Amino acid sequence: MGELTLVPIERIERAILFLRGHKVMLDSDLAELYGVPTGALNRAVKRNLERFPADFMFQLVEDEEEILICQIGISRRHGGSRHRPFAFTEQGVAMLSSVLRSPRAVRVNIDIMRAFVHLRQLLQSNAELARKLVELEKKVDAQFKVVFDAIRGLMAPPERPKGRIGFGE
């Protein structure tokens, strides 16, 4: 595990987006990481489309592209682009290793897979932390209820024995 990475995991994690309920990477970011032009990456994918079903890769619709341009500042590509970006899910990125066979592509792909695993672990640990927090809040609420009941009991005036009304013995 002591291997040096070609691309820092932080750089890869910044390129992972959440679209249509999936963690994805855009074709332009992948091409940059692999050190190839975006067009070359897309041509390699198109020559092997049978390897990229809809749950591995999809093309952004106009609204999604506009949102990304506004939110994270993806480029409109100088001179205009002929197509909207493609988004690759984790499985699609893994499949790219069978399409792009350069030594750099193989090493970068390993780094990307590790980044996806790291993000999954972070999300899992955050979910576990949230679950523990809910449990703690339930315990604390119950404990504080007892404390508050005790305080209210101390604050209430003591009950006086009721005297009899009228004349009597």
Distance between CA atoms of 142 and 136, rounded to whole angstroms? 10
Distance in angstroms (rounded) separating the CA atoms of residues 132 and 138: 10
CB-count exposure of residue 160 (10 Å: 0-12, 13-18, 19+): exposed
pLDDT tens profile 60-92: 998 887 877 776 666 555 445 567 899 999 999
* Strand partners for 161: none
Q: What is the pLDDT of residue 156?
A: 64
What is the residue-wise DSSP string for 87-136?
EEEHHHHHHHHHH--SHHHHHHHHHHHHHHHHHHHHHHHHHHHHHHHHHH
In angstroms, the CA 41 to CA 38 distance is 5
Q: Is residue 66 part of a domain?
A: yes
Report which of 86, 85, 88, 90 is spatially closest to residue 117, judged by C-alpha positions: 90
The model carries a pTM of 0.65
Q: Which of 9-13, 17-21, 47-51, 101-105 has the highest mean pLDDT?
A: 47-51
Lowest mean pLDDT among 46-50, 147-151, 162-166: 162-166
Q: Give the torsion sign (CA, 128, 134, 139, 144).
A: positive
Q: What is the token pair recorded at 11?
A: 């750089």
105 in any annotated domain: yes
Q: What is the CATH number of the domain that holds 36?
A: 3.10.260
Q: How many domains does the chain have?
A: 1
Range of 67's domain?
A: 9-124
